[in-house]
Amino acid sequence: MKKQKRHSTHARHPGLDPATGTRRGESIRIIPIKSGRFIINYLSLFGICLFFVLSPIISKVPGSTHPVVKAAFISEAKLPILTGVRSPDITAQGVFVMDMESGSILYDKNPHLPLEPASLTKIMTSLIAMDHFQDDSILKVVNGQSSLGNTADLIKGDELTATDMFYVLLVPSGNDAAVTLAENYPGGYRIFLEKMNQKVAELGLKNTHFVNVSGVESPDHYTTAYDIAMIARNALSRQRFASIVSTKNITIRSLKGHLYPLISTNILLGQPGILGVKTGWTPEAGECLVILAERDGHKILLSLLNSQDRFGEGEKLVNWAFSNFTWK
């Protein structure tokens, strides 16, 4: 087969130098005329035209840009401005960090990935219960220590006020308190669970589904870092919830005289600026955490799902967020 010759896309003219467009041996020259102006040969003219076409582009100085901070909801509050501190390495599979006042999203990682929430479930449990029970409502412990998972060792048949039951639910993360709240709800456990999923829909959340009230493992029991942060944000609008989740330890007395010493599962409580909220863990869910933190009058909310070090990573993200953003 004959080797084909390559053909240039440029037209050739016999006797012309293809590099300059002039006859071979001829230089590019300027020809004077009577008026003192000059006629430039066609190649030079092309160069001048090209300069004027490109000069507006060349002379334009690129403007500095600030990263756009997304918002989880609309607000006219002061916005956090990124300053450029490198974010820490995070093992958590789902992460969401937001400014509470403006709704600006400060950091996220797989925010809409469905993952098991473990005892973060109890944030929604408390929402449903607080919407129904009065502070002094009397609740009877039915299952007590027979509840699955972590319990506060409530005694079967004991009676507590709703407020004290909320402390048992949220401070030591008692599954027995979660079950007690659901069983004392009108219609019982099944209706309470239905209300939890109805609340999910009311909040406009698309990737959360609950099949129990305490967070014990189930493949059909899931949420996302974004969704659980929105649930926590809603719960924190209730003063009694915000007060309880900031409690490091407390001892309550039941209506039958039994004492229950309660110690928070959130070891970050007590550190400057850490205001709550809730922890969770199961072998499948990994380490989970929601934190509300405040510095210089600015509050941030963060959620971590399936972390290998929830407290360490939570602390890193809090420090990073307040170092990496200024509010203007």
Per-residue pLDDT tens digits for 177-227: 999 999 999 999 999 999 999 999 999 999 999 999 999 999 999 999 999
What is 213-266 written as a DSSP string?
SS----TT-BB-HHHHHHHHHHHHTSHHHHHHTT-SEEEEE-TTS-EEEEE-S-
Nearest to 113 by CA among 210, 224, 208: 224
Query: 156: annotated binding-site residue?
Result: no
pLDDT of residue 28: 39
Pairing status of strand 38-40 against strand 30-32: antiparallel
> Hey, what are 54's tokens?
């490109």
The 3-state DSSP class for residue 150 equals: coil
Q: What is the phi/psi pair of residue 34, to 5°? A: -60, -35
Mean pLDDT of 124-131: 98
pLDDT of residue 146: 52
Q: Which residue has the higher pLDDT, 93 or 38?
A: 93
User: Which CA distances in Å does 45 have to 10, 28, 72?
Assistant: 19, 11, 56
CA R_g for the chain: 33
User: Which CA distances in Å does 153 have to 133, 135, 187, 259?
Assistant: 22, 22, 25, 11
* Inter-residue contact 200 to 207 (CB < 8 Å): no
Q: What is the phi/psi pair of residue 290, to 5°? A: -125, 130
Q: What is the chain's mean pLDDT, rounded?
A: 82
pLDDT of residue 77: 62
The 3-state DSSP class for residue 89 equals: coil
* Positions marked catalytic: 119, 122, 173
- DSSP class of residue 206 equals S
User: Which CA distances in Å does 218 have to 152, 212, 232?
Assistant: 22, 9, 21
pLDDT of residue 241: 98
39-81 tens-digit pLDDT = 334 444 444 444 443 433 333 323 222 243 455 555 556 677 7
Q: Which domains does the chain have, with CATH numbers?
A: 16-58 (no CATH), 80-327 (3.40.710.10)
Which residue bears the tokens 């209506």? 255
Longest CA–CA span in the chain (Å) reads 118
Given a cut of 60, whether residue 165 has pLDDT beyond it is yes
If residue 98 lies in a helix (H) or strand (E), which one and from where to where? Answer: strand 94-99
The 3-state DSSP class for residue 72 equals: coil
- Helical residues (DSSP H) of the chain, grouped into ranges: 42-59, 121-132, 162-170, 175-183, 188-202, 225-236, 239-244, 310-324
